Amino acid sequence: MKFQIEKDVFQDALNQVQHVVSTRTTLPILSNVLIEADELGLQLSTTDLDVTITKRISAKVSKTGKTTLPARRLASIVRELPTSEIDFEVNEDNAATVKSGPSFFKILGLPSEEFPVIGEFGEAKEFTIDQKLLKDALRKTSYAISTDETRYVLNGVNCLIGEGMLTLVATDGRRLAMVEQDLEFPAGNETAVIIPTKAVNELQRLLGDSGELKIALTSSQASFELNESHLITKLIEGNYPNFRQVIPGAANHRVTIEREVFLNAVKRVSLLANEKTNSIKFAFDDNRLAISANSPDIGEAEESIDVRYDGPRIVVAFNPEFVMAPLRNLDQDEVFIDLIDESSPGVIKIDEPFLYVIMPMRVAN
Amino acid sequence: MQSSPDPESHESSEKQDLGALWWSVSDDLRAELGASTVELFLPNFRLTGLDDSVAVIQVPGSGYALWAETNFKESILSTLQKHIPACKSFRFDVTDEEAVLPVEKAKSEKKKNKAAKLKERVLTERISDEKLVERGRAAGLVDLFTFENFVPGQNSDLAWAASQAVANEPGKTYQPLFFHSACGLGKTHLLHGIGWASLKKRPKSRVLFVTAEQFSNDYIDAIQNNALVAFRKKYREADLLLIDDVQFFGRKEGLQQEFFHTFNRLSDLGRQIVLASDCPAGEIRALEDRLVSRFQWGLSAEIHRPELETRAAILRRKRDDWSMLVSDELINAIVERVQGNVRILEGALIRVAMVTTMTDEQVEPARLDDILSDLVGSGASSGFVGLEEIKQTVAEHFDIEVNVINGKKRTKRVAEARHIAMFLIREMTDLSLMDVAASFGKDHGTVIHAVKKIKAECSSSSSMKGTVELIRRRLVRGGSSLESKRARRSSSPKSGSQNLDSNSYRKKFSD
């Protein structure tokens, strides 16, 4: 196998695929990237057996063939190479020589036959949607995914397609983020799947701001095809909890807040959040919001900002991280907070079909 | 449930134990987490079992289970342990509505039906009449107030029909049945009547009649003596719960919460609740919305003032019951003159009968005006003054609207009117400071201040004294048809001095 490739193209492609590769693995082949050269160019693939990413790039191939090379090492070498043209040659023993200007590297790889073959995709339900739409939706929900591995069904984004809508939900039992987007799809294709965290993260890296992507879903696998990239992931099998049960009904009081002002104030006050309870207090009162934190051994912080609110005084405590997460991932200038009372969950909303339910912390006084 | 050879009874009594236990656990949880939180995250949850040391809590959805476990695990566990010391942990048993297979549903339905039939058989077991009366008295029923003694009329046809339906099939028709009317028109009579009729039909059923005040006292006693379990057992296991004067639940938050649970429990079990109040549910002051909506849920029946014929029928019935020597013509003459509630009618009848016995001759209809002078007259002829009436009269005097008096405006004129109204209400009724204050949306201190101020001004300024006296006279003469039960209760010499208490009369008479 022999080819010549531009450094930037190669580096970008390696960067996109190398995250899947796990650093600690019992199977050495899983740390490698599969490189396949044909007349049209190169195809790079990495997998951890759950998520597989394949990326096509153009290269001047003078001799076709395939091999696997350690993905991270290759990526760091390519990144440091001095010139923009790289000459690549791999012999029968899977030893690769990389030449770039005065630099010369020899990297030992593993035979391509060892690289796990991705299972064939069965009969799938297919959809085509805008990349931006999915990217936005994932960004607005993925931070609420649970990291608690004992509740594996929560370790992903629940993706429902039905009733003319694409609904994405993530929750960890303390907060819940949900996006609903209108989506046209063929009748009979209603489905619900849970996309695991890793695939969600990789997908966000791959998705761009324009163009479309093709999604195919079976009951155990999902495939996403876009921009010469292809991501295939196993799905989390199990029943996602009925999240609609915990979304509060009509709220009594609505607060309108400037998102950035709010985010920055919470960020500052949270520096002194009580370490034990990890909560800070939000006191809503007649067009004012006073955010305060109090750590008995360290000190206290308070910041007051203008909001639009005309209800009664409500003091409620939240985990500041849980408040900041959605604020960081929204673009709107204004957000709304719907409150029922001090012990009921608050709901952050925007002008678009998004909502974020957050459980108040129970604190004395 | 009474003794029965069926093995199911053991199982169900165990279930009942768990159920009773769960009620106390759930009440503690409500106290700990707040009722709204429990309603949001643990709606209709039940304690369904105890495997070794693991309590099984049934929730109607996976979402509830997830959030409840994540957020309230410690609270739930510690509350469980308080009541079940052996409990080491708990788990949720999710019953998604969709998850219940139709076959299982049918099965459990069948089981339920069987149990219900068995229960019905036990409840309808015959007992002797003496026993029946004994049971009725123990349930708080008064012998006199039976359906047989009730004189139905156009004024009460809905309430009357509903009463009979409920007595025939408790828990099946109107849940709850809610009577409201002005005082003395027969609410209490119907409540007792339902109790008696239902007891006759199902002698072994648990009937319980209480006034809201008794319920309240029981509750307070239970709290003081740490005997809430017994209290709940008493009320939550009734087959027919009759509560009179529920307007007294107003402003008693703890009591309302307790009653709310009692109500839910009984209606879950398909037991019958009948309530009576002197105003529609929506008008009971400071009654929680969830209770108002529950009161309005079943059937609300209003009892109106009896029309002429009904009044005559009532008095004829009374005359026969008490074997009085009063002719039909005389009764017709009485009911033409006296238009108030049934108590006043009875009072009038007693008075006429007494005059007859004393003078040993039939009273001429023409003399009635003299004898009944205080009962005959304008409007409702109640002769007593109510809070709203005072406010109305004061407002009229100052030429302002009643809602201005109740409002927040504090201009001199309005404040003076408000103060005089407060003063007169305190003088002329026996409403408590709190009641008066609440009716104005004010603090009781405000009322104390107003009363002091007017008193002082009356002694220092003759014009103020004149104003107050003028309004008072207008009130005593009776300018408005409004009537209040509480005001009537105050048979204080100030308000209705020349009024004769019909009860004391009746006693004298029957002696």
Q: Do A245 and B37 count as a contact with CB atoms less than 8 A apart?
A: no
Q: Is A238 on the interface with B (CB under 8 A)?
A: no
Q: Is A23 on the interface with B (CB under 8 A)?
A: no
Å from B219 to nearest chain A CA?
27
DSSP annotation string for A108-142: E-B-GGGSPPPPPP-S-EEEEEEHHHHHHHHHHHG
Q: Which residues of chain B does A362 touch, with a Cβ-Cβ cutoff of 8 Å?
A: 33
Q: What is the pLDDT of residue B242?
A: 92
CA dist., res. A352 & res. A332, Å (int): 9
Q: What is the pLDDT of residue B252?
A: 83
Q: Is A150 on the interface with B (CB under 8 A)?
A: no
Which residues are within 8 A (CB) of B465 and not within 5 positions of it... i.e. 6 or more apart? B457, B458, B459
CATH 1.10.1750.10 residue ranges in chain B? Answer: 387-490
DSSP annotation string for B320-383: HHTT----HHHHHHHHHH--S-HHHHHHHHHHHHHHHHHHTSPPPGGGHHHHTTTTSSSTT---
Q: Is B34 on the interface with A (CB under 8 A)?
A: yes
Q: Which residues of chain B does A243 touch, with a Cβ-Cβ cutoff of 8 Å?
A: 63
Q: What is the pLDDT of residue B137?
A: 86
User: Are residues A175 and A254 located together in one domain of the fold?
Assistant: no
Phi, psi of A93 (to 5 degrees): -90, 15
User: Are residues A269 and A297 located together in one domain of the fold?
Assistant: yes
Please report whether residue A119 resides in a domain. no
Angle at B293 between CA B288 and CA B294, to 5 degrees: 100
Among the candidates A80, A114, A148, a domain finishes at: A114
Report the CATH number that the domain containing residue A42 is assigned in CATH: 3.10.150.10
Q: What is the pLDDT of residue B401?
A: 83
Domain holding A23, by residue range, is: 2-114
Q: Is B73 on the interface with A (CB under 8 A)?
A: no
Per-residue model confidence as pLDDT tens digits over A106-129: 999 999 998 988 767 778 888 888
Q: Which residues of chain A does B40 touch, with a Cβ-Cβ cutoff of 8 Å?
A: 246, 248, 344-345
Task: Give domain B8-102's CATH number out of 3.40.50.11400, 1.10.12.10, 3.40.640.10, 3.30.300.180.
Answer: 3.30.300.180
Q: What is the pLDDT of residue B498?
A: 40
Please report whether residue A148 resides in a domain. yes
User: Are residues A264 and A305 located together in one domain of the fold?
Assistant: yes
Q: Which two tokens stand for residue A13?
A: 């492609």
User: Are residues A77 and A7 located together in one domain of the fold?
Assistant: yes
Q: What percent of chain A has pLDDT over 70?
A: 98
Q: Which residues of chain A does B67 touch, with a Cβ-Cβ cutoff of 8 Å?
A: 173-174, 246, 359
DSSP annotation string for B197-258: HHHHHSTTS-EEEEEHHHHHHHHHHHHHTT-HHHHHHHHHT-SEEEEE-GGGGTT-HHHHHH
Q: What is the pLDDT of residue B477?
A: 62
**Alpha-carbon dihedral A253, A258, A259, A264, rounded to 10 degrees:** -110
Of B97 and A155, the one with more pLDDT: A155
Q: What is the pLDDT of residue A267?
A: 93
The CATH homologous superfamily for domain B128-303 is P-loop containing nucleotide triphosphate hydrolases (3.40.50.300)
Which of B40, B61, B67 is nearest residue A173 as measured by Cβ atoms? B67
Do residues A363 and A277 make contact, with C-beta atoms less than 8 angstroms apart? yes
Q: What is the pLDDT of residue B490?
A: 40
User: Are residues A137 and A199 located together in one domain of the fold?
Assistant: yes
Which residues are within 8 A (CB) of B309 and not within 5 positions of it... i.e. 6 or more apart? B153
Q: What is the pLDDT of residue B102?
A: 33
Please report whether residue A363 resides in a domain. no
- For residue B429, give Cα distances in angstroms to A284, B375, B478, B492: 43, 19, 14, 8
CA dist., res. A48 & res. B58, Å (int): 39
Identify the band that residue A156 occupies on the pLDDT scale cut at 50, 70 and 90: very high
Q: What is the pLDDT of residue B495?
A: 39
Among the candidates A114, A146, A172, a domain finishes at: A114
Least confident of A73-87, A308-322, B168-182, B442-456: B168-182
A351 pLDDT higher than 70: yes
Q: What is the pLDDT of residue A347?
A: 93
The pLDDT profile of chain B, 511 residues, written as one tens digit per residue, is 444 444 444 445 555 567 777 778 888 888 888 777 787 787 777 787 777 788 888 888 888 888 888 888 888 888 888 888 888 888 888 876 443 333 333 344 555 566 666 666 677 777 778 888 888 888 888 888 888 888 888 888 888 888 888 888 887 778 889 988 888 888 888 999 999 988 888 888 889 999 988 898 988 888 887 777 778 888 888 889 999 988 888 888 888 888 888 888 888 888 899 999 888 887 787 788 888 888 888 888 888 888 888 888 888 888 888 888 778 888 888 888 777 778 888 888 888 888 877 777 777 777 777 777 776 643 443 445 677 888 888 888 888 888 888 888 888 888 888 999 888 888 887 778 888 888 888 888 888 998 898 888 888 888 888 888 888 877 776 544 343 333 333 434 443 334 444 444 444 444 4
Which three-class secondary structure state does DSSP give residue A207? Answer: coil
Q: What is the pLDDT of residue B387?
A: 79
Mean pLDDT of chain A: 89
User: Are residues A160 and A208 located together in one domain of the fold?
Assistant: yes
Q: Is B466 on the interface with A (CB under 8 A)?
A: no
**Alpha-carbon dihedral A72, A75, A81, A87, rounded to 10 degrees:** 110
Q: Do B64 and A245 count as a contact with CB atoms less than 8 A apart?
A: yes
Q: Which residue is closest to B62 within chain A, CA to CA?
A: A241
Interface residue of A160, A246, A253, A339 to substitute, partner B, most B CBs within 10 Å:
A246
* pTM confidence score: 0.53
Q: Which residues of chain A does B41 touch, with a Cβ-Cβ cutoff of 8 Å?
A: 246
Please report whether residue A174 resides in a domain. yes
Q: What is the pLDDT of residue B115?
A: 63
User: Are residues A152 and A183 located together in one domain of the fold?
Assistant: yes
Q: Which of B:36-65 have CB within 8 Å of A?
A: 36-37, 40-41, 61-65
| Helix B502-510 / helix B342-359 crossing angle, nearest 10 deg | 40
CA dist., res. B170 & res. B148, Å (int): 19
CATH 3.30.300.180 residue ranges in chain B? Answer: 8-102
- For residue B287, give Cα distances in angstroms to A335, B61, B198, B284: 36, 31, 29, 6
Q: Which residues of chain B does A344 touch, with a Cβ-Cβ cutoff of 8 Å?
A: 36-37, 40
Of B25 and A32, the one with more pLDDT: A32
Please report whether residue A230 resides in a domain. yes
A227 closest CA partner among A210, A243, A241, A250: A210
Do residues A311 and A253 make contact, with C-beta atoms less than 8 angstroms apart? yes
Do residues A309 and A253 make contact, with C-beta atoms less than 8 angstroms apart? yes
Q: Do A239 and B65 count as a contact with CB atoms less than 8 A apart?
A: no
Do residues A281 and A316 make contact, with C-beta atoms less than 8 angstroms apart? yes
User: Are residues A132 and A222 located together in one domain of the fold?
Assistant: yes
Among the candidates A192, A222, A244, a domain finishes at: A244
CA dist., res. B150 & res. B193, Å (int): 8
Q: Do B37 and A344 count as a contact with CB atoms less than 8 A apart?
A: yes
Q: Which residues of chain B does A246 touch, with a Cβ-Cβ cutoff of 8 Å?
A: 40-41, 63-64, 66-67
Q: Is B28 on the interface with A (CB under 8 A)?
A: no
B64 closest CA partner among A225, A171, A50, A9: A171
CATH 3.40.50.300 residue ranges in chain B? Answer: 128-303
Q: How many CB pairs under 8 A join A and B?
A: 49
Q: How many domains does chain A have?
A: 3
Of B386 and A213, the one with more pLDDT: A213
CA dist., res. B364 & res. B298, Å (int): 49
**Alpha-carbon dihedral A293, A296, A297, A298, rounded to 10 degrees:** 20
Task: State the DSSP code for B399.
Answer: T
Identify the band that residue A308 occupies on the pLDDT scale cut at 50, 70 and 90: very high
**Tokens 């009038």, residue?**
B348
Burial state string for B68-85 with b = 16 or more CB within 10 A and e = fewer than 16: bbbbbeebbeebbbeebe
Do residues A229 and A55 make contact, with C-beta atoms less than 8 angstroms apart? yes
Angle at A335 between CA A167 and CA A274, to 5 degrees: 100
Q: B107 burial class (0-12, 13-18, 19+ CB within 10 angstroms)?
A: exposed
Q: Which two tokens stand for residue B357?
A: 């016995």
CA dist., res. B338 & res. B491, Å (int): 19
Which residues are within 8 A (CB) of B2 and not within 5 positions of it... i.e. 6 or more apart? B122, B125, B204
Please report whether residue A365 resides in a domain. no
Which of B33, B63, B96 is nearest residue A243 as measured by Cβ atoms? B63
Q: What is the pLDDT of residue A254?
A: 92
Domain B308-381 has CATH 1.10.8.60: yes
Å from A173 to nearest chain B CA?
5
Span A73-90, average pLDDT: 90
Residues written for chain A: 365
CA dist., res. B299 & res. B304, Å (int): 16
Q: What is the pLDDT of residue A292?
A: 93
Which of B40, B64, B66 is nearest residue A248 as measured by Cβ atoms? B40
Could you name the CATH architecture of B387-490? Orthogonal Bundle (1.10)
